[in-house]
Structure 1
């Protein structure tokens, strides 16, 4: 099929079936955005497999695709819910204790930008080496060392700041 003809035929199928498929999906989902996703995914499959559409039965074929898309979404949602429940169970007993530094250290730390704070936390709290920090930051080890050095210098300067020591 010629590209122009294929595009025109797909657009015609889209116009003719969009509302029917949307109503179908809305009746089977609890959220309008989920229904919109079902319809979009259905037409994506239809575009990719346009040559597989049975002549004269494109609308019925689209309902079959939408049915499969909905089933896939339901399975995915069920797996996500199961995983979330398992994680809640596993993490329910986890105890997280954040360090409680002296007030002047907390005040100096709070003056740093978010990037510096995260760098220093990764090294101090999580125990990452400069090489591991480079992996976490997706940069070279040298760049990580430089960033860490600069963050430490800014932290030291903040600690020496007269507004912090009062």
Structure 2
């Protein structure tokens, strides 16, 4: 359904864009909804279309604005489909690689495993980052987004709690 043309280009940009938006939003949304599998994808197409229109407002033809917007929406949908295809292909490739990946589990004594499981998750993650991933204190400050002093304190406390858990007598001993 055709709508009134937006205000002439002689007006200020905001007024022209708002008129363009009001005149063509429903048409573009309907267009996108009929072609996208999910409503949120259609909303993204319309948003992208009007973003391009705002950025290139000076080249939007006054007498053919609606047709120009449909062309932009069509390109936005094509870009969206290409991105979806790339994402799907990447996920398939990762699944294939991960299916072939060999996970080496360390042979850890039950007492050590049990003591580690007793720790709070924050302590376990901190100790894993240091022991398994080999992160330094400086790297931990970035990964945990805290100061070096806070990292040293947290690491000291986590190690102390782990040592305490290792010293506790187990029920099976």
TM-score by structure 2 length? 0.78
Aligned to 1:9: 16
What are structure 2's unaligned runs of at least 5 residues?
Answer: 1-8
Per-residue deviation at 1:43? 0.8
Output the CA distance in 2 between the equivalents of 1:78 and 1:127: 36
Aligned to 2:64: 57
Aligned to 1:137: 144
Per-residue deviation at 1:99? 4.0
Aligned to 2:49: 42
Deviates more, 1:128-137 or 1:6-15: 128-137
2:33 is the alignment partner of 1:26:
yes
For 1:110-149, what aligned pairs fall within 5 Å after superposition?
110-138=117-145, 141=148, 143-149=150-156
**Which structure features the higher share of helix residues?**
1
Output the CA distance in 2 between the equivalents of 1:142 and 1:13: 55
Output the CA distance in 2 between the equivalents of 1:53 and 1:47: 9
Output the CA distance in 2 between the equivalents of 1:111 and 1:7: 60
Q: Where does structure 1 differ by over 6 angstroms across 4 or more consecutive aligned residues?
A: none
Aligned partner of 2:91 among 56, 66, 84? 84
What are structure 1's unaligned runs of at least 5 residues?
Answer: none
Per-residue deviation at 1:100? 5.8
Change (3 A) 1:142 1:2: farther
For residues 72-127 of structure 1, what are the alpha-carbon distances to aligned partners after superposition, in whole Å with 9 as ceiling and x for unaligned?
11111111122122222222211224446445444433343332211101122223
RMSD (CA atoms):
2.6
